[in-house]
Copies of this chain bind each other. A is one copy, B any other.
């Protein structure tokens, strides 16, 4: 399928070993290797990608460091298989319901919260005056102890005063909103993009530098269309894919 033949680019600002590490990760996520399967020998990979064996070794070293591969002298290099999580997004997406069946344990950790004046984008999305106070929550989604998302969420401070405490206590946006009389809500719009992870993402998501994150910018609304929440979420592209299902 895709990504087998295509060659490697030089002099682009992305080192060859990083590009090759990306390829291998992609192949694993694609299911090209079975659980605990052996990677082709270093010489074979070097030939396939048209680079020196040492360059392949650098790529493998990075993935070993990352816990994706395990190298054994004399035997080979093996895939410790981390399949990609498939994360559904749609009108009724909730974090905890989204990953059902794929992981056994999941929750949202509140990293920090603060109060700040609303910028242009946030004010427009929440339908409040620019400069009005908003509460900002920094959270991390975890599944089976592994970080799978990193989000920044804004609420109208007037309407949702104290939501950071509710969030810290319940570990759930849905449960926290219930305390403010909101029993159901919908995702109104989602904008999707991708970029290199920044320093904050790297630390929070336990990523290796150079990793790519999928970014969603979403507005949640009540059933009658009133905006309640504005959020930017980052997902590590190497561990998560986003899934849109018809009818969601």
Contacts and interface: CB of A to CB of B under 8 A. Distances in A.
Interface stretch (A69-77, A105-113, A181-189): A181-189
A208 interface: yes
A3 B3 CA distance: 30
Number of identical protomers: 2
Contacts of A21: 13
A91 interface: yes
Interface in A19-51: 19, 21-22, 26, 29
A202 to B, nearest CB: 7
A209 interface: yes
B194 A237 contact: yes
B1 A210 contact: no
B1 A193 contact: no
Interface residues of A, number: 58
A42 to B, nearest CB: 18
A225 to B, nearest CB: 9
A132 interface: no
A205 interface: no
B199 A9 contact: yes
Nearest to A29: B193
A191 B242 contact: yes
Interface string A206-248: 0011101110000000000000000010000100011111100
A189 to B, nearest CB: 6
Contacts of A188: 246
Contacts of A198: 2-3, 6-7
Ranked 8 nearest A-B pairs via Cβ: A12-B209, A13-B18, A194-B194, A6-B198, A192-B242, A9-B209, A190-B244, A194-B237
15 contacts: A2-B232, A7-B199, A10-B209, A12-B18, A12-B209, A13-B17, A13-B21, A14-B18, A89-B244, A189-B243, A189-B245, A190-B243, A194-B194, A196-B212, A212-B212
